[in-house]
Amino acid sequence: MNESKKELLGHPFGLFVLFMAEMWERFCYYGMRGLLTLYLLKVLLLEQSESYLIYGAYTALVYLAPVLGGKIADSILGYKKAVVFGAIMMAIGEFFILGGTPNALFWGMGLLIIGNGYFKANISSIVGKLYNEGDERRDSGFTIFYIGINIGALLATTVCVYIGETYGFHYGFALAGIGMLCGLFFFLLGKKYFEAQSMPPNPEELRKKVGGLISKEYLVYLLSIAVVPVIYLLVNQNSIVGIILGVTAVAAIVYLIREGIKEGKVLLDRMILFIILCVFNIVFWALFEQAGTSLTVFADVNVNRNVLGFELTAGNTQFFNPLYIILFGSLFSMMWTKLTKIGKNPSIPMKFGLGIIQLGLGYLIVILGNQFAVEYKVPLWTLGFLYMLHTTGELFISPIGLSMVTKLAPAKLTGTLMGVWFLSFAGSNYVAGILATLTGSGGHGEDAVKLSAQESLATYVDVYSTMGYAAIGVGLVVVLLSPLLRKLLHGIE
């Protein structure tokens, strides 16, 4: 039997191989992410504001890297080689961090960002290529794959983060690196099930010597590694990341508007709507992505994490989001299908508005939790309900994003729009780091100004309630404008 035709549960067997590879890669990524802020504060003894800005720059570059990684795989390496190289880089990056110094961390970050750029974009591309054009199983296949992502995130935020905070951060980072090696193992073990869909576009071209010295393939690897020192500099001088993102965003907007004008009113309107939704996407994720920074420190200082005699670590509280995604993801998918059948499915702009409102309501839960605080610590259910509303808001926005990109753009602009969409996520993570600094410049550093528990709680309640009201206000504006924005879609639903 042709291995690429083998099926399991009605889907190509390769889907489940990729499910396992992606699950362990997400274990690696979210293990690192869950520990990063606390590591910066408690081990490297940096101030909160500096830690948040480093985190923001790192996660921004993590989202920007797949734009280039995807293009290089499409035109040169092919998906399999890109994923393998990315996995190796990420594993090495995690092990680099074990050096225990700021330099070791920043070099590790550079390797992780490059590795993620090659891995993240391209494993999803292989999943898509397992199905023929028009295959109705594709959406459910991506849903299964998405579950793998969140199982990996759930394992990372429970097991990996707990071990890191309880027994030593180096154990947590090492475990994340081992997780990445597990992902690589599953990918290589099952490569025969997707080999045909992941080959280089031109294998002969890849083997050609450049300058008679080195093959094109290995030149790509060397140049990618050569970018690591640049990323080291960017994470250290994180304001430069903001400038790069800003200049790139302006250039992207000008390009999309120009293309819209060339093609006529319909495409121009759609490009304008796309740009508007990118701005709202930045608003949503900049507030949502407090999870890895200020919300984790809030959990560390001002949340009672005791559950039936067992105390969760601060990083463990990040587990709520992937758990809720696993619990609610399929329900929301079915809900959208049923609403479509009866003609009641909200428009894309309306979903954005409702998602932002739920995010805002999540932050207002902190006001309620404050009423039940004991010794300036709010009960754990405060974060439980906050993350629940953040997750339901995410499910209004996240799943439709990539689908929206493919609907709004003509074929020649799809790749560009996808890149700009990822750029909006990069921008939101950078802004998230800046917003996190509003919760106080104190922290765990030797020279940091430490707030008392009372002052800390008051600051968090003030900042989060402000974020909540602002998000609800923005969401209501989007809801009110949604009929007008919907017209810019010109029939796209």
311's enclosing H/E stretch is: strand 310-311
Binning pLDDT at 50, 70 and 90, where does residue 133 land? confident
Tens-place pLDDT, residues 144-162: 888 899 999 999 999 999 9
User: What is the model's pTM?
Assistant: 0.92
Show the tokens assigned to 16.
């489940």
Nearest of 205, 324, 277, 296 to residue 428 by alpha carbon: 277
Q: Is 331 exposed, middle or buried (0-12, 13-18, 19+ CB in 10 A)?
A: exposed
Q: Most distant CA pair in the chain: distance in Å?
A: 72
**From CA 481, how far away is CA 476, in angstroms rounded?**
8
The answer on pLDDT for 445 being more than 50 is no
Distance of CA 489 to the CA centre of its chain: 27
The answer on pLDDT for 427 being more than 50 is yes
Tens-place pLDDT, residues 23-62: 999 999 999 999 999 999 999 999 999 999 999 999 999 9
CA dihedral 390, 308, 159, 59 (to 10 degrees): 30
Show the tokens assigned to 322.
């992937």
Q: What percent of the chain has pLDDT over 90?
A: 68
pLDDT higher at 64 or 442: 64
Per the CB < 8 A criterion, the answer to whether 212 and 57 are in contact is no
pLDDT higher at 368 or 70: 368
Binning pLDDT at 50, 70 and 90, where does residue 406 land? low
**Which runs of consecutive H residues, i.e. helices, occur in 130-160?**
138-155
**From CA 22, how far away is CA 30, in angstroms rounded?**
12
Show the tokens assigned to 185.
């193992």
The structural domains of the chain, ordered by start, are: 1-236 (1.20.1250.20), 237-493 (1.20.1250.20)
What integer best gives the mean pLDDT of the chain?
90
Q: What does the radius of gyration of the chain's CA atoms come to, in whole angstroms? A: 22
Per the CB < 8 A criterion, the answer to whether 14 and 20 are in contact is no
Residue 205: the pLDDT is 85
Residue 243: the pLDDT is 95
| Other beta carbons within 10 Å of 2 | 7
Residue 448: the pLDDT is 41
Instruction: Give the residue-averaged pLDDT of 181-190.
Output: 96
Q: What amino acid occupies position 155?
A: L
Q: What amino acid occupies position 343?
A: G
Binning pLDDT at 50, 70 and 90, where does residue 365 land? very high
| Other beta carbons within 10 Å of 344 | 8
CA angle, 45 as apex, 451 and 307 as ends, to 5°?
A: 65
Number of residues assigned to the chain: 493
Binning pLDDT at 50, 70 and 90, where does residue 128 land? confident
| Other beta carbons within 10 Å of 114 | 26
**From CA 101, how far away is CA 40, in angstroms rounded?**
10
The answer on pLDDT for 447 being more than 60 is no
**From CA 408, how far away is CA 327, in angstroms rounded?**
30
Tens-place pLDDT, residues 162-171: 999 999 999 9
Show the tokens assigned to 461.
């309640």
Q: Is 287 exposed, middle or buried (0-12, 13-18, 19+ CB in 10 A)?
A: buried
Residue 150: the pLDDT is 92
Instruction: Give the residue-averaged pLDDT of 226-232.
Output: 95
Nearest of 261, 262, 315, 324 to residue 291 by alpha carbon: 315
pLDDT higher at 442 or 207: 207
**From CA 244, how far away is CA 318, in angstroms rounded?**
29
Nearest of 285, 273, 279 to residue 404 by alpha carbon: 273
**From CA 89, how far away is CA 78, in angstroms rounded?**
17
Tens-place pLDDT, residues 254-295: 999 999 999 889 899 999 999 999 999 999 999 999 999 999
Buried b (16+ CB within 10 A) or exposed e, 120-135: bbbbbbbbeebbeeee
**From CA 214, how far away is CA 225, in angstroms rounded?**
15
Residue 466: the pLDDT is 98
